[in-house]
Structure 1
Amino acid sequence: MQRIFEFLFRFRAFFLFLLLEAIAVWLIVSNNGTQGALFFNSSNRIAGNIFETRSSIREYFSLNQVNSDLANQNAALLNKLEDYERLFVNTDSLRPELMLIDSMTLANYEFLSAKVINNSVRRAQNILTLNKGKNAGIETGMGVFNEQGIVGRVKDVSDKFSTVISILHTESLVSSVLQSSNVFGTTRWDGVNPDEASLLYVPRHVTVTVGDTVVTSGYNSVYPEGLKIGVVKSVERGTEATFYDIKINLLTNFSSLSYVYLVKNKNLPEIDSLQQVSGVINEQ
């Protein structure tokens, strides 16, 4: 302990200089808009590069699992491709209006991919960082999902990186529907278990069973209809007389996120503008 004090006393002038320099930088950043913006942009860029390097190191040691997952996904996609080929070979069995609706739905969205380079699941407001930004076409408000289910919504975007509000965020609301009965509700995380969430506002006069699949409703400007969210775990009579208290198991494993897909609604600016005029609160 004595040697530590001797060391600090010997270099006291140097440490005082560092302290004064730090205070000077803080004053400049705090009181000058231009310098402050440059400082924080540089900090975000450096943090993004650090996160990307750390993610690359982690990914190197899990390549076997990643390759296995990719092989399984490719097999599933090949099976779906065969199903589509069998379906469209006999076009007489398809109603023209259904084909028109499908093509219109696809035309409303664009899809991109990105890698998760930073993620959290232990906080009440969890945020992800992706390795792509404006230069790759990513924009604020885009929905994020993977092969398991939905992940979140893009919050902020820089040139090379973007941040995503995870659905593991207590202020995140997702417009949802029970697949078996087409009954609408809202999925919200309660901030406790990263594997579970609540399905709100489902009326008690409908039938809800354990095992029902919960998917996105399409009644929003973020996600297309039918993306998976979770599976009903429990159904109880809630404290409110009109709604159930429903818990669902989230299908997305947020602890092992690697690659994700981003979906952009081409009509988002027009929808948001109209809803703002009408005073509509838009869920994810």
Structure 2
Amino acid sequence: MHNLIEFITKQYHWLLFIFLEVVSVVLLFQYNNYQSSVWFTSANAVTGKIYEWSSAIESYLSLTHVNKELTLRNFHLERQLNQLSRLYGELTEDTTAAERAGLRILEQYSLVPAKVISNTIDRPDNLITIDKGRADGVETDMGVACGNGIVGIVYLVSEHYSIVMPVLNTHSRISCSIRKRGYFGYLKWNGGASDIAYVEDVPRHAHFKRGDWVETSGYSSIFPAGVLVGKIVEVYNSSDGLSYKLKVHLTTDFGNLRDVCVINDRTIAERAKLLEAARDSIRQNSGAAITK
């Protein structure tokens, strides 16, 4: 103890210098958005590697639980596929038609498997970092899903990492529909619980009930139709009384999110080009009408 006190007494000026340097660096990055975004973004290569190592350790420790969930889900999906194939074959007397139709639909999509290396669920602007980037074919505005349902949309891409804006972000808006009902609205998270979100702007004439499933509508160029979102647990009137607001229990467990897939729709570019051409045509026709 005497030696420690003597050491501190002799070296106190260096210790004080190091302490003040640490405090100044912390204050610099905490209260200056530019420096913070440049050095501490989770897309940064160094920070990304640290997150990746940490995630790898956590992922290894939770493999037993994850494998159990995957096994159960694969079992249920296989049962549903077999039942649908059997029913379709009985109706059409063609047992291979369902398989061919499914393959044709899947041909337009390619999936990029990725691992979550950084994730938050307790902030209004939650973001997720995954270990795939531009070099792996990931681009902004691609959809991201996991085995249990929807995750979010790719927001920012670097060479080897990507930032995903999840459903649990107050700026997220995703087009959804009620399964087998056809009515759609927009999925929005208002903060709070990580397993609850809301589908807003559902028309008043819509017919549905609690317990119905909500899935992606396919009306956007980001997600294909049918990606699971969650189950309706409550129904409210909107603030203006002109539509419904649905409380949805999300199927994705964002607190235990490890493996995801980035959805690359090969038809997005073609559809976006066609939509832009239509908008240009409308603008030109409107201008011509005003001129006349």
Return the alpha-carbon distance in structure 2 between the equivalents of residues 203 and 97 of structure 1: 36
Quick check: 2-11 or 200-209, which moved more? 2-11
Partner residue in 2 for 1:10:
13
8 A Cα contact 2:43 2:163, kept in partner: no
Q: CA RMSD, aligned part only?
A: 3.9
Q: Give runs of aligned pairs for residues 8-87 of structure 1, distance below 5 A.
A: 9-11=12-14, 15=18, 44-76=44-76, 78-79=78-79, 82=82, 86=86
Partner residue in 2 for 1:169:
169
2:114 aligned counterpart, secondary structure: strand
Return the alpha-carbon distance in structure 1 between the equivalents of residues 42 and 258 of structure 2: 25
Return the alpha-carbon distance in structure 2 between the equivalents of residues 183 and 263 of structure 1: 24
Cα 1:144/1:205, change in 2 over 3 Å: same
Partner residue in 2 for 1:254:
254
Return the alpha-carbon distance in structure 1 between the equivalents of residues 208 and 197 of structure 2: 16
8 A Cα contact 1:170 1:190, kept in partner: yes
Identity of aligned residues (%): 31
8 A Cα contact 1:190 1:197, kept in partner: yes
Cα 1:81/1:177, change in 2 over 3 Å: closer
Q: Which amino acid aligns with 2:208?
A: V
Cα 1:118/1:220, change in 2 over 3 Å: same
1:172 aligned counterpart, secondary structure: coil
Q: Deviations over 1:73-131 (max 9, x none)?
A: 44345445645775787895359998886555323211121111111100111111111
2:44 aligned counterpart, secondary structure: helix
Q: Give runs of aligned pairs for residues 236-251 of structure 1, distance below 5 A.
A: 236-251=236-251
Return the alpha-carbon distance in structure 2 between the equivalents of residues 201 and 17 of structure 1: 53
1:125 aligned counterpart, secondary structure: coil
TM-score calculated relative to the size of structure 2: 0.76
Cα 1:40/1:193, change in 2 over 3 Å: closer
Partner residue in 1 for 2:117:
117
Partner residue in 2 for 1:144:
144
Return the alpha-carbon distance in structure 1 between the equivalents of residues 275 and 53 of structure 2: 41
Q: Which amino acid aligns with 1:121?
A: I
Q: Which amino acid aligns with 2:117?
A: I
1:70 aligned counterpart, secondary structure: helix
Task: Specify every segment of 5 or more residues in structure 1 that has no aligned partner in the other structure, as ranges.
Answer: 27-35, 280-284
Q: Deviations over 1:40-93 (max 9, x none)?
A: 899800011000111111122212212212322443454456457757878953
1:126 lines up with 2:129 in the alignment: no
Partner residue in 2 for 1:215:
215
8 A Cα contact 1:208 1:235, kept in partner: no
Partner residue in 1 for 2:286:
none
8 A Cα contact 1:145 1:261, kept in partner: yes
Q: Displacement of 1:186 after TM fit?
A: 0.9
Return the alpha-carbon distance in structure 1 between the equivalents of residues 275 and 163 of structure 2: 24
Q: Displacement of 1:136 after TM fit?
A: 2.1
Partner residue in 2 for 1:107:
107
Q: Give runs of aligned pairs for residues 152-231 of structure 1, distance below 5 A.
A: 152-231=152-231
Q: Displacement of 1:137 after TM fit?
A: 2.0
2:203 aligned counterpart, secondary structure: coil
Quick check: 83-92 or 191-200, which moved more? 83-92
Return the alpha-carbon distance in structure 2 between the equivalents of residues 87 and 8 of structure 1: 81
Q: Which amino acid aligns with 1:61?
A: L
2:175 aligned counterpart, secondary structure: strand
1:269 lines up with 2:280 in the alignment: no
Partner residue in 2 for 1:234:
234
Return the alpha-carbon distance in structure 1 between the equivalents of residues 131 and 246 of structure 2: 35
Partner residue in 1 for 2:284:
none
TM-score calculated relative to the size of structure 1: 0.78
Q: Which amino acid aligns with 1:270?
A: E
Quick check: 64-73 or 171-180, which moved more? 64-73
Quick check: 259-268 or 63-72, which moved more? 63-72
Cα 1:191/1:93, change in 2 over 3 Å: same
